[in-house]
């Protein structure tokens, strides 16, 4: 698989096999991703790999908070407070693709709730990753982190693994930091599901579209 194929085939996977991911594979993915660029080589990434009993306990606490109506709040503002076009329409279409694939109508609020709650279990993937950063760093380090996360997802593909980057896992930062022993002077960037894809799962059958390069590119000569 070359770089182009990996970029085109990567997708957000939302159903995984009940199959353990070997630690050496996880380390291989991280060893590859560490070569991502960062401003003046700051390498801002701090990664927590959560599996087994710890994953079960942590995801249970997060999901319980969500179901009890506890409003999550990320360490930073990920999405705009007010959506505008074309981003609003893209966001709506993205959600519609998911629910229409699963046959969940707008009126089926309970099924929608259950699908959203799966975010907090990393869609039952065997590995839940959390990404932290020193709060003293600035906007450039968020850009660096994005490159690291993309590198990680592509490296995972080479190991036969699937991923789903998740902002939802950053919604309860205090709870996550307390359980994992990270201090309040860190920023929880978000998380990621990691495991072996369940290729027969319906939820993994759809792909979100991308705009043509010509639609967002201008040439100056």
User: Which pLDDT belongs to residue 136?
Assistant: 98
Would you say residue 105 lies in a domain? no
64's enclosing H/E stretch is helix 52-67
Encoding tokens for residue 176? Answer: 């996550």
User: Which pLDDT belongs to residue 1?
Assistant: 82
Would you say residue 182 lies in a domain? yes
Would you say residue 148 lies in a domain? yes
Would you say residue 39 lies in a domain? yes
The mean per-residue pLDDT over the stretch 108-127 comes to: 96
Would you say residue 184 lies in a domain? yes
The total of structural domains in the chain comes to 1
Spatial CA neighbour of 162 closest among 173, 171, 153: 153
Look up the domain containing 170 and give its range: 9-76+120-201
User: Which pLDDT belongs to residue 195?
Assistant: 98
Would you say residue 136 lies in a domain? yes
Average pLDDT over the chain, rounded to an integer? 96
Q: Report pLDDT digits (tens) over 200-213.
A: 999 999 999 999 99
What CATH number is associated with residue 44? 3.40.109.10
Q: Report pLDDT digits (tens) over 4-63.
A: 999 999 999 999 999 999 999 999 999 999 999 999 999 999 999 999 999 999 999 999
Rounded Cα distance, 58 and 82, in Å:
31
Interhelix angle 52-67/109-117, nearest 10 degrees: 140
């Amino acid at each position: 698989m070359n770089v182009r194929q990996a970029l085109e085939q990567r997708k957000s996977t939302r159903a995984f096999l009940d199959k353990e991911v070997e630690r050496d594979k996880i380390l291989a993915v991280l060893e590859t991703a560490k070569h991502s660029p960062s401003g003046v080589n700051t390498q801002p990434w701090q990664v927590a790999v959560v599996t087994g009993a710890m994953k079960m306990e942590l995801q249970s606490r997060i999901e319980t908070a969500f179901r009890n109506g506890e409003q999550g709040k990320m360490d930073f503002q990920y999405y705009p407070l007010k959506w505008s076009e074309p981003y609003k329409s893209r966001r709506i279409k993205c959600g519609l693709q998911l629910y229409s694939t699963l046959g969940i109508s707008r009126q089926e609020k309970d099924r929608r709730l259950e699908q959203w709650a799966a975010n907090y279990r990393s869609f039952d993937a065997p590995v839940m990753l959390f990404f932290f950063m020193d709060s003293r760093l600035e906007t450039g380090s968020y850009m660096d982190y994005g490159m690291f996360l993309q590198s990680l997802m592509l490296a995972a593909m080479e190991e036969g693994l699937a991923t789903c980057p998740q902002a939802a896992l950053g919604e309860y930062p205090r709870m996550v930091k307390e359980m994992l022993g990270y201090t309040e002077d860190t920023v929880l960037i978000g998380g990621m599901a990691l495991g072996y894809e369940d290729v027969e799962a319906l939820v993994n059958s759809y792909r979100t579209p991308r705009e043509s390069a010509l639609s967002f590119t201008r040439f100056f000569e």
